[in-house]
A = this chain, B = another copy of it.
Amino acid sequence: MPGQSSTRDRMVDAAFALFDEQGYDATTVDAIVERAGVSRSTFFRAFGSKEDVIFPHHPDLRARIEARLAAGSAETRVVAVREAAGLVLEQYLSEGDVALARYRLTRTVPALRGREIASMLGYQQLFREALLHWLDGPDAELRAELLAAGIVTGHNVILRRWLRGQTDDPRGELSHALDLVMESRGLATAAPHGALGTTVVVVESNRSGAEVADVVRRALEG
């Protein structure tokens, strides 16, 4: 292959540049492929549609969320949900300017707005299915759906605040938002089965295992 797999990157860059210069609707696929130096066929093979070029990472992110939730259990559901939601936020934070450009586009172009909404609802489905296995009791189905909606909605509120430049601590605010969501649905209860063993829940940490263990030991001894 002549152009490695960077042909994809070239198309993304060309698309975002043109969208920024002349708007989404006014930019034709022909113009994108011309600037990227590829053919129409290549574009549609890589992205499937003009909209997909705006969200080139969604399939990958979706897979990562699914994997994180699949690694959780009824006992570790709180941290599983927190980390899975964190994956989404981190994806946007790491994209930086691209995320901002996308936000500007999704705000103004209805078609893209619908596209993003659909993606978010896809994430919500992942959370709902995971929660459905972790919850029991009356209204489990309804509560799982409400919780999933709360998680995604809470995340979106914080993400939007960050995109608007209204916060410098999106991670902390997401954590607080998830507190609000999970507390109100009784999800934050540790050891849901009333086990008498030792349950350690590490909600969030960037320390090493040894450091965490040290903190725990001192807490128990103190």
Contacts and interface: CB of A to CB of B under 8 A. Distances in A.
A58 interface: no
Would you call the interface of chain A mostly helix, strand, loop, or mixed? helix
Nearest to A185: B184
Interface in A127-158: 139, 141-143, 145-146, 149-150, 152-154, 156-157
How many copies of this protein are present in the complex? 2
A149 B120 CA distance: 13
A121 interface: yes
Given A150-B149, A150-B150, A180 B118 contact: no
A181 interface: yes
A113 B145 CA distance: 18
Contact-size category for A? 20 to 34
Contacts of A177: 142
Contacts of A142: 154, 157, 177, 180
A115 interface: yes
Which of A142, A143, A180 is the most central at the interface, judged by chain B CB atoms within 10 Å of its CB?
A: A142
Contacts of A146: 150, 153-154, 157, 180-181
A44 to B, nearest CB: 17
A153 B157 contact: no
11 contacts: A114-B114, A114-B117, A117-B117, A118-B118, A141-B157, A142-B154, A142-B180, A146-B150, A149-B150, A149-B153, A150-B150
Interface of A: 110, 113-115, 117-118, 121, 139, 141-143, 145-146, 149-150, 152-154, 156-157, 177, 180-181, 184-185
The 7 closest A-B pairs by CB, nearest first: A149-B153, A184-B184, A114-B118, A149-B149, A114-B114, A145-B157, A142-B157
